Amino acid sequence: MTKELTPLMKQYWEIKSLHKDKILLFRMGDFFEMFYEDATTAAPVIGITLTQRNKKSEDSTPMCGMPHHSVAGPINKLLAAGFKVALCDQIEDAKLAKGLVKRAVTRILTPGMVYDSDNLKATESHYLCSFDLDNISLMDTTTGESFYFSDITLQERQQIFSILPIAEIVTSNEISGLNLSSSPITKTLYHFDRNDQNLKEDQYAHLPDSALLLISYVLNLSDQKIKNVLQPFEKRSLKGRLHLNFNTIKHLEIFTNYKGEEKGSLYYAINRTLTSSGARLLRHWLRFPLLDQKAISNRHFYISYFRDHLFELKKTREIFPKMGDIERRLSKIALPQRHARDLTSLATAIEAGLNAVEISNQKIQFSKRINVPKLQDLSRTILNTIVEDAPLSTKQGHIIKSGVRPELDEIISISSTAQTLISNLEAREKAATGISSLKIRYNNVFGFYIEITHSHKDKVPERYQRKQTLTNAERFCTEELIEIERKVLSAQTRRNELEFTIFEDLCEKILSFSSDLIHLAKACSELDVYSSLAWLSLEENYCQPKLSKNGVLHIKDSRHPVVEQFQRDQNKISKFVANNILLNPSECYLITGPNMAGKSTLMRQVALTSILAQMGSFVPATAAELPLYDSIFTRIGASDQLTEGLSTFMVEMTETAEMLNRANHNSLLILDEVGRGTSTFDGLCLAQAILEYVLTHIKAHVLFATHYHELVIMDQRYAQVKNVHMEINDKASQIQFLYLLREGSAGKSYGIQVAELAGLPPEIIIQATALLKGYEISDSLKLKSPRADFKPALMKVKSQADASAVNLKLFD
């Protein structure tokens, strides 16, 4: 910059200097503009054109912008990319400003505190997170949800970061040992003062520092009205939850498939919810299934109720599409960009929610905490106050119905009378001048004016005052027209101000009902999930599982909830092949059979059935007796983490080590082809050692799939091992998969036959077959017995760095 800055750009830099770490959106008239580095950074993220201010000058300035009324989407794109945004608005009316319009930052937005939740994924939460040495606290400012976990380990904390949808982590310092370096989550350092006036309320006295930090952070960056919708922090525990780590959730494709898409996941397959809040609750239930048998049975009770009362089920599901999202609508009403339609949407949602709860309360008293008369009155007040399809701007009037306030009705009457006055004046002027084409019009720049074409300019009276000359016409005003304009504009200004006051008062009233509205929203979310799971169970023929503590897993006609639906959606003629599963306490299925025969599908469906049962759902089977697992661990599939310097085999061993170090006799373990990422001898030895460790020390239910057929004699050494295989028909010219689980081991893996099905060139198949026969003749792989001094404790791996140093001396 070689030339002196203009007053406007001086103002810009004064404000920008206070917000160097943020993208500054600078209000200029009807636009929010970005300049210099902010513009070059933001333009490609938002997807708008980068241009130049003062293009012909050597001091041209990079800039980009968007209309003020469509700023929500671009801001949320910046936040989603990890940027922080400072919103600088005009804080005085430009028409009344003397010189440069005053501007100031009115809002600071961060990835965890979005501008408008309407632009977020409606079915997913959006958490701010903070942690201290013993606690982790979370808050969703789009719904007001606030909770914390206490007395959790570093490992549990890391796990929460990996499975919850956290948009931003806010801490006062770094916690040693916590690995967040590769996480895409935005990290913010923020120091708070316990003497902050925002934290003086009694309800905050018992909260941990991590929760207080979030409250301070949010209240210092937001409009204070958001305080009305922030729910009291709820203390939660991981102790009463089925433990599902990140790998288990990924391997079982609970929320996304292997491509990262929602379609093809368990969530997608079972989601029949009809409200956004219901969908969010379903996700929460899937992330944290229950351990308490009574709580699980309670969820089963409500699902059974809806299954047994189809009329109530259908009526409830007819109502929910009208619900909208009470939680997010309420939170938006606490923000400056709220508009009149937010209020009418909330009123409609209240009516629908009350109707849904009433249907259930008639027979089972679903919720007694909802103040029905109070909320009915609030809904009526909103609908009697706000016009239908109100303008989005709350400061331009025409949002309040007549009859709400006498003063407003009087002002509206003046405006209506003015229109009559204008029409009468136009008629009189036409008669007085003899100009039939004379018109009285209005625009924002010149106000009211009389327009006369040039062909009649010789008829213009002297009392007309010229306002503007156009190509084909002249515009004039008269004293009478000026007086009418003064009355109209004065009335319109008063109307706008009064309507805005009424609107703001109504918003305050709504926010005072926050607690009642949250109770209604939570009740409707639960009803939506219960009714959707009931609908799912009827639609997909699921059964109510029996949960017991005798350690028996017995599933009759077990099916995979995702694959079964996929086959049907693809219009496949063959139905999913159901199988019976029976595991007594501490027993293991040692599963053999070719690739593509259904081993992985079978193991996954057992795990998914257990998760569904403990989250409170019915399950895909004709009958099911299941133990209450406290954890499910999986080691499935091949993947590497090249960015962290980890090979496929290293990832496999690290994940297996975590499983073996954390599992217990109440766990369900799924191990698919362990040891395949190294040499045949190493892999076989590791597979045997791992399986024996599980059998002798963990004593959990295990589904262990392998191509190491040498392991099948394990059933002779360990009574709890059951050899099973996926049946095929190899009598025909090509191998045929039957997908049936049978007792006993498979004779071989049929890898060459599967390769032939995949389309490998015939010469490769012929050569591989010949080589296989040669290897089979000279086969020297023989399973060895474990040493007498077998010490499984050597298996423990404390970290990824230690994993490569582990030496498992288990064999002669």
Q: How far apart are CA 610 and CA 624, in angstroms?
A: 10
Distance between the two ends of the chain, CA-based, in angstroms? 78
Residue 799 has a pLDDT of: 37
Neighbours of 490 (CB within 10 A): 12
Tell me the residue type at 686: L
Q: How far apart are CA 111 and CA 118, in angstroms?
A: 15
Mean pLDDT value across the chain = 87
Neighbours of 543 (CB within 10 A): 16
Question: Does the pLDDT at position 808 exceed 90?
Answer: no
pLDDT, mean of residues 799-810: 32
User: Has residue 250 been placed in a domain?
Assistant: no
Tokens describing residue 397: 């009037």
Domain termination site, one of 109, 127, 147: 109
Question: Does the pLDDT at position 68 exceed 70?
Answer: yes
Tokens describing residue 486: 């003064």
Residue 792 has a pLDDT of: 43
Using a pLDDT cut of 70, give the percent of the chain over it. Answer: 91
Domain termination site, one of 82, 109, 136: 109
> Which residues 6+ apart lie within 8 Å of 529 measured at CB?
273, 278, 281, 282, 285
Residue 413 has a pLDDT of: 85
Residue 806 has a pLDDT of: 31
Residue 805 has a pLDDT of: 31
pLDDT in tens, 464-506: 999 999 999 999 999 999 988 888 888 888 898 999 999 999 9
Q: How far apart are CA 399 and CA 401, in angstroms?
A: 7
Going by their DSSP bridges, the two strands 631-635 and 667-672 should be labelled as parallel
Residue 151 has a pLDDT of: 87
pLDDT, mean of residues 742-753: 81
pLDDT band at 596 (very low <50, low <70, confident <90, very high): confident
pLDDT band at 723 (very low <50, low <70, confident <90, very high): very high
Which residues sit opposite 590 in a β-bridge? 704, 723
User: Has residue 150 been placed in a domain?
Assistant: no
Residue 794 has a pLDDT of: 34
Question: 396 or 291, which is more confident?
Answer: 291
User: Has residue 500 been placed in a domain?
Assistant: no
User: Has residue 86 been placed in a domain?
Assistant: yes
Question: Which range has highest mean pLDDT (226-240, 357-371, 762-776)?
Answer: 226-240
pLDDT in tens, 160-215: 888 999 999 998 876 555 666 556 788 888 888 888 777 878 788 889 999 999 99
Residue 297 has a pLDDT of: 96
Residue 53 has a pLDDT of: 77
CATH value at residue 101: 3.40.1170.10
Question: Which of the residue ranges 34-38, 60-64, 462-466, 803-807 would you say has the lowest mean pLDDT?
Answer: 803-807
- What does residue 46 show for φ and ψ, rounded to 5 degrees? -80, -30
Residue 449 has a pLDDT of: 95
pLDDT band at 642 (very low <50, low <70, confident <90, very high): very low
CATH value at residue 683: 3.40.50.300
Minimal CA–CA distance to 248: which of 670, 554, 588, 603? 670
Using a pLDDT cut of 90, give the percent of the chain over it. Answer: 59
Minimal CA–CA distance to 802: which of 794, 792, 790, 791? 794
* Angle subtended at Cα 126 by Cα 125 and Cα 128, rounded to the nearest 5 degrees: 135
Residue 750 has a pLDDT of: 75
- pTM, two decimal places: 0.86
| Total number of domains in the chain | 2
Residue 732 has a pLDDT of: 66
Domain termination site, one of 88, 109, 130: 109
User: Has residue 720 been placed in a domain?
Assistant: yes
Q: How far is CA 325 from the centre of its chain?
A: 14
pLDDT in tens, 38-53: 999 999 999 999 998 7
pLDDT band at 388 (very low <50, low <70, confident <90, very high): very high
Residue 266 has a pLDDT of: 98
Tell me the residue type at 728: I
Residue 39 burial class via C-beta count within 10 angstroms: exposed 0-12, middle 13-18, buried 19 and up: buried
Q: How far apart are CA 165 and CA 390, in angstroms?
A: 34
User: Has residue 799 been placed in a domain?
Assistant: yes
The domain of 617 spans 543-749+782-803
Integer-rounded Cα Rg, in Å, for the chain is 35
User: Has residue 732 been placed in a domain?
Assistant: yes
pLDDT, mean of residues 452-456: 94
User: Has residue 123 been placed in a domain?
Assistant: no
pLDDT in tens, 90-124: 988 777 778 899 999 988 999 998 888 888 899 99
pLDDT in tens, 343-375: 999 999 999 999 999 998 888 877 778 999 999
pLDDT in tens, 256-307: 998 889 999 999 999 999 999 999 999 999 999 999 999 999 999 999 999 9
Tell me the residue type at 363: K
Residue 689 has a pLDDT of: 92
Residue 395 has a pLDDT of: 81
Residue 57 has a pLDDT of: 64
